[in-house]
């Protein structure tokens, strides 16, 4: 049988077999049982469910079920049983992708109780050459949480992550459009009728928030926009296998629910767009072909084409949010007010993101300098 990892094997008859520990013999050796399925994923999900039941049924189940198991086995349990009920679907998908793409190939085959700092350090030292600093630090925070939970459940005495030396975190300044780039983009967006990009440039909306925006979210009398929903991707099973699909859900965080004052020119454009869409069935300001919320990937692709036509390089939809934030600071807006408009959890988060000057601002300050004498 070809082994896939986590005590899961591909049998010669085409089926997949998963083995799990149900107890110990008198000599201390583990007793196994097997389950079968048509696919690796089917067997893996069944194993997680069985092991979680065993975990709840024994006094010290963690040691019995996972004591001699692989790190890959424990990571599956941690994600699907310990974390999934308490995190957003998008966070779950991000964790799963990070585990399957990086942690399992590097560390998944080691028995949990034999994982050493040297194993983790080797992974970190290699990935620092190919992975951006923020991604590597995020991956290591994930692994640290997984191992901390193993300590809490008495699977291991202490976390092997304690001795890891991490590379210095270097947060790159956000990409912000220059005023010349912004002017070109605005002209092109006006000519193409792409109100969505102007809205992001002057309100700092996130892409998912933009796609979920409805006309009922706009108070045209007070010129205020309410942000309370976002389009996000969730797991969806189709005939071709597991994939994702966009759905409209709640805002990203509690602080993401907010009211944003609208510039008068934007309010007028939105009112005009509402009149144009009166004949349509959709309530969404930027509707997709089916009348539902626009697909974020489609909006991003259209922006990439528009940016390319105007000679703007290295920009994406989130660049518009960064540009909005920096322009607000350049005009004298305080961090607290900006934090509330952006939907950040605290002004400290806003300061960490945007506490740097653009070259244009530096040049303006330096040009204004004159001799005192």
User: What was the pLDDT predicted at 58?
Assistant: 47
List C-alpha distances in Å: 313 to 131, 181, 186, 309, 360. Answer: 22, 10, 15, 10, 18
Tens of pLDDT, residue by residue over 96-124, are 999 999 999 999 989 998 899 999 999 99
Pair of tokens at residue 74: 């424990």
Q: Given a cut of 90, is residue 127 above it in pLDDT?
A: yes
Q: What confidence tens digit (pLDDT) does each residue in 174-188 have?
A: 899 999 999 999 999
Q: Answer yes or no: are the C-beta atoms of 22 and 65 closer than 8 Å.
A: no
For 347, phi then psi, to 5°, come to: -70, -25
Pairwise CA distance, residues 208 & 133, whole Å = 25
30: helix, coil or strand?
strand
At the topology level, CATH places domain 179-227+260-367 in: hpI Integrase; Chain A (1.10.443)
Distance CA 36, CA 8 (A): 9
- The pLDDT of residue 67 is 43
Instruction: Give strand pairing partners of 240.
Output: none
Looking at domain 2-163, its CATH class is mainly alpha
Q: What is the mean pLDDT of residues 6-32?
A: 78
Parallel, antiparallel or unpaired: strands 258-261 and 224-227 = antiparallel
145 compared with 250, residue with greater pLDDT: 145
Beta-ladder partners of 225: 218, 260
Burial 34-60 (b: 16+ CB within 10 A, else e): ebebeebeebbebbbebbbebbeeeee
Residue 1 pLDDT exceeds 70: no
Query: What residue ranges of the chain are covered by domains with CATH 1.10.150.130?
Result: 2-163
Query: Where on the phi/psi map is residue 365: left (φ > 0), alpha (ψ -120 to 50), or beta?
Result: alpha
Among residues 202, 206, 197, the alpha carbon closest in space to that of 223 is found at 202
Give the number of C-alpha atoms closer than 13 A to the C-alpha of residue 177, restricted to the C-beta side.
27
* Ranges of CATH 1.10.443.10 domains, the chain: 179-227+260-367
Question: How far is it, in rounded angstroms, from Cα 36 to Cα 12?
Answer: 13
Residue 213 to residue 252: CA distance in whole angstroms: 14
Whole-number pLDDT of residue 237: 56
pLDDT exceeds cutoff 80 at 244: no
Let me know how long the chain is: 373
What does pTM read for this prediction? 0.68
The H or E element containing residue 134 is helix 133-152
Number of neighbours of residue 194 by Cβ within 10 angstroms: 18
Residue 50 has pLDDT above 60, yes or no: yes
pLDDT value of residue 215: 93
Sole residue written with tokens 């976002």: 230
Tell the residue number behind the tokens 């310990």, with chain if given: 82
Residue 358 pLDDT > 90, yes or no? Answer: no
For residue 13, count CB atoms less than 10 angstroms from its CB and return exposed for 0-12, middle for 13-18, buried for 19 or more: exposed
């Amino acid at each position: 049988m070809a082994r896939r990892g986590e005590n899961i094997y591909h049998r010669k008859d085409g089926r997949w077999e998963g083995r799990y520990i149900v107890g110990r013999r008198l000599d201390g050796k583990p007793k196994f049982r097997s389950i079968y399925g048509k696919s690796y994923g089917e067997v893996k999900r069944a194993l997680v469910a069985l092991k979680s039941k065993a975990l709840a049924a024994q006094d010290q189940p963690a040691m019995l079920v996972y004591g001699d198991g692989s790190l890959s086995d424990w990571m599956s349990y941690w994600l699907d049983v310990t974390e999934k009920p308490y995190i957003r679907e998008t966070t779950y998908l991000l964790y799963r992708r990070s585990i399957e793409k990086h942690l399992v190939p590097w560390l998944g085959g080691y028995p949990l109780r034999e994982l050493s700092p040297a194993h983790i350090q080797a992974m970190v030292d290699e990935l620092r050459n190919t992975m951006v600093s923020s991604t590597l630090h995020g991956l290591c925070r994930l692994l640290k949480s997984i191992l901390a939970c193993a300590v809490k459940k008495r699977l291991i005495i202490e976390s092997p992550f304690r001795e890891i030396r991490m590379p210095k975190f270097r947060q790159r300044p956000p990409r912000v459009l220059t005023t010349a780039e912004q002017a070109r983009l605005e002209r092109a967006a006006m000519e193409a009728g792409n109100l969505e990009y102007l809205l992001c440039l002057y309100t700092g909306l996130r892409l998912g928030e933009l796609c979920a925006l409805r006309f009922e979210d706009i108070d045209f009398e007070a010129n205020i926009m309410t942000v309370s929903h976002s389009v996000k991707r969730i797991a969806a099973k189709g005939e071709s296998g597991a994939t994702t699909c966009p759905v409209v859900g709640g805002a990203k965080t509690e602080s993401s629910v907010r009211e944003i004052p609208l510039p008068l020119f934007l309010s007028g454009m939105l009112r005009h767009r509402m009149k144009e869409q009166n004949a349509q069935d959709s309530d969404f300001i930027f509707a997709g072909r089916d009348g539902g919320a626009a697909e974020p990937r489609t909006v991003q692709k259209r922006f990439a084409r528009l940016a390319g036509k105007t000679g703007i390089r290295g920009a994406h939809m989130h660049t518009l949010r960064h540009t909005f934030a920096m322009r607000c600071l350049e005009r004298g807006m305080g961090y607290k007010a900006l934090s509330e408009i952006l939907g950040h959890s605290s002004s400290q988060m806003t300061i960490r993101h945007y506490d740097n000057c653009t070259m244009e601002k530096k040049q303006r300050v330096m040009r204004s300098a004159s001799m005192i004498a």
